[in-house]
Structure 1
């Protein structure tokens, strides 16, 4: 296994060097060079060796030309705080030509850092590649390893043509990367490429410029969903939130805090003391919904989990929470519950949290059920996003239905037909590849 792992690391390093150094035409020439070498082994039977000699001479000249690249530069980039999966990110970048010559025909590319694929991860890929009758080939394993590295990189960058760089001057351009996975993208270096006159081989100059940004989950468009539910009594800590709530019993007076509604101001006390005073009630009543995300699966990564997180992000972003509370609940290393709305948080913070969600592999679904039961007396409604369906999930739904809590149940699956027989009220199947269409059909 270690030998196979070292072989992968070596071949991956060679691939990255070839892609970085050779242009598309250069890679095509390498293929032609290899073909000519194979065909031209017998110089008595074919004249292909002459083609081989010509291509080899051109390639040597192109590589030699790269040694005369004396460019020096400085660069600064300005990144936003966030990006979104699948949405191309454009940002300002300034490149300073530190030489006394005009530089033309250059290209620039961002170098995205990523951890090296570990031996443990490689073993898991090899092990999973031999299950369920899959083709156990080196090509298949290599492709899966490349996908694992792409998940770690979380973004892709392509070479961009630079305008003419004047001597000792700054040039403003737009950098571009395309986020492919949620999480933190770490940009490590900026590389300037200069192809040779034959446009086969790139000379390169690189400077270190570490910087990072957070990639938020992909979001889907949602129809207008009005979740039913009556106002429920909330804890005293929530009463500090802004906006509208109903209270029943007067408790005391206190100084005004930013965000307190005007209707709670005690005008007589303000007139006496000369400073704003508000009434404090015993209980607060307003709408509160739970957004429950199912993260329980055996593998660390899956397309279904990523889609579930994207659907959760869509609801966290689009639901109107200014007049209500939204509790995001899921289980990772431990049970989590994050609240937004009414001044306690915002949708952007919810997306930041969802960007870091990981699969729960060492706990049972009961952990999520227990956390939800603790808050059930405060909930007006519940949105549950499932990645599987079994007896534990069914019991949770039946328990919530027993409390007559309005539910919106979403089940994400690869095979839609597998769950068509389920007779569960308000359960909607979201098949992979048709998530957007299924969401728009919720109304």
Structure 2
């Protein structure tokens, strides 16, 4: 790593931590008071001609008393979070915190605040992830990449909010339940390990941040989902191994064809209890094989530099399909490649779509393209799939060849391409065409594009 980037990263990181330290202890009113103090000091220097020195003395007294008061405040608190199982990007998440005063004195007029995990990027991310449009900045900004640092800080911030809405009073030895609200900004897992009590001074200028003793918690944040129109995917129902025996939901039920001896793995609900009682041996009802559709949901997680925002939209599109396809009457296989090929199936006796959303919450972008590995994975399930929906973060010749290889095998395909601009994507599609239906999803207008399905 170049020494210059190491110096920049270290400087920006220290500056961000110092800024966070100050901003968490000085309120908006405090900043206004400090600004007025400086202004009064500059304009009221000549005490013979101006009376502003009196205003300076008053503000100075307020600031000094406020700082001293906030610094002397104490609170010894413990808390326990009661979190929901999941949250969703961009949607309010409410949860309850039970806070207890373990000190000998009452804790009066304080707020609770959940501090997000440190959003400062690691050195490798800072050096390797350019800001979108960075090439259009001037030479000075491209050299010191401060705007890249600010963009990464904003991008890495896990949530906003997380502060109680009203001042709390808690007598010694007592406990109280408080509701906090936050809005997740990124999918993944939020680690909660920094709950603070904000203890303000009487003037509301400064506040002390006291750490609250609370066990570490985590919350899974699911990807943002879009609304989809009623889906009519191509392809016919296929025979699925296991038939009715693997299904524990409603759907296309096989007809009853007779009785047979019990085999390990048979469902308890198929046992014929009367015949078991007569023969003394377990007997089960046998059904004919069933046919139902099985769809593939292929996620392209091989991301070009600077296309991280397109990948996040692609994950949201995949999540939208995961919750919109009726898995009570079909099977859905999510496929992508990380260190190895990964397939997550949902529907008809298998995992619920919720499991698929949890997997999408954790999927990461891969810098090295492995489309051939992804193609082999999809071809492995070719005989079982009725149709396949492929979600791409951008378009290229390699992605077009991926689609053509699958289409040559006779697979029903629909390609969804998340792009920066529709004009650029159409130009690339004209250069690298594919023999299947293509839907362009322009960044910032994904919902409109999905409604054309």
TM-score category by the smaller chain?
A: 0.7 to 0.9
Q: Give the structure 1 partner of residue 24 of structure 2.
A: 20
Q: Residue 84 of structure 1: CA displacement?
A: 0.7
Q: Give the structure 2 partner of residue 431 of structure 1.
A: 442
| Alignment map for 1:36-435 (pairs within 5 Å) | 54-99=58-103, 102-114=106-118, 117-125=121-129, 132-135=135-138, 136-137=140-141, 141-160=145-164, 161-209=166-214, 210-235=216-241, 240-243=246-249, 244=252, 253-255=261-263, 257=265, 259=267, 272-273=279-280, 275-279=282-286, 285-299=291-305, 302-420=308-426, 422=429, 425-435=436-446
Unaligned runs of 5+ in 2: none
Q: Residue 35 of structure 1: CA displacement?
A: 5.0
Task: Tell me if the contact between 2:254 and 2:287 (Cα under 8 Å) persists in the aligned partners.
Answer: no
SS of equivalent residue, structure 2 residue 326: coil
> TM-score, normalised on structure 1?
0.86
Q: Residue 375 of structure 1: CA displacement?
A: 1.3
Q: Distance in 2 between matches of 1:341 and 1:71?
A: 51
Moved more, 357-366 or 50-59: 50-59
Q: Residue 327 of structure 1: CA displacement?
A: 0.7
SS of equivalent residue, structure 1 residue 192: strand
Q: Residue 171 of structure 1: CA displacement?
A: 1.6
Task: Tell me if the contact between 2:115 and 2:162 (Cα under 8 Å) persists in the aligned partners.
Answer: no
Q: Residue 176 of structure 1: CA displacement?
A: 1.6
Q: Residue 26 of structure 1: CA displacement?
A: 0.9
Q: CA offsets, 1:119-165, max 9 Å, x none? A: 3333335x668952423439983443244344444222343223433
Task: Tell me if the contact between 1:90 and 1:176 (Cα under 8 Å) persists in the aligned partners.
Answer: yes
Q: Residue 434 of structure 1: CA displacement?
A: 1.0
Q: Distance in 2 between matches of 1:37 and 1:257?
A: 84
Match 2:15 to one of 1, 7, 11: 11
Q: 1:257 to 1:176 in 2, by over 3 A?
A: same
Q: Distance in 1 between matches of 2:370 and 2:148?
A: 28
Q: Residue 293 of structure 1: CA displacement?
A: 0.7
Q: Residue 397 of structure 1: CA displacement?
A: 2.7
Q: Distance in 2 between matches of 1:347 and 1:33?
A: 59
Q: How many residues align?
A: 439
Q: Residue 354 of structure 1: CA displacement?
A: 0.3
Q: Distance in 1 between matches of 2:132 and 2:231?
A: 42
Q: Distance in 1 between matches of 2:46 and 2:127?
A: 43
Unaligned runs of 5+ in 1: none
Moved more, 216-225 or 60-69: 60-69
Q: Distance in 2 between matches of 1:3 and 1:51?
A: 43
Q: Distance in 1 between matches of 2:443 and 2:261?
A: 54
Q: 1:218 to 1:20 in 2, by over 3 A?
A: same
> For the aligned residues, what is the CA RMSD?
3.6
Q: Residue 181 of structure 1: CA displacement?
A: 0.2
SS of equivalent residue, structure 2 residue 80: strand
SS of equivalent residue, structure 1 residue 428: strand
Q: CA offsets, 1:351-398, max 9 Å, x none? A: 010011111212332221121112111110111111122233223333
Task: Tell me if the contact between 1:186 and 1:211 (Cα under 8 Å) persists in the aligned partners.
Answer: yes
Task: Tell me if the contact between 2:80 and 2:99 (Cα under 8 Å) persists in the aligned partners.
Answer: yes
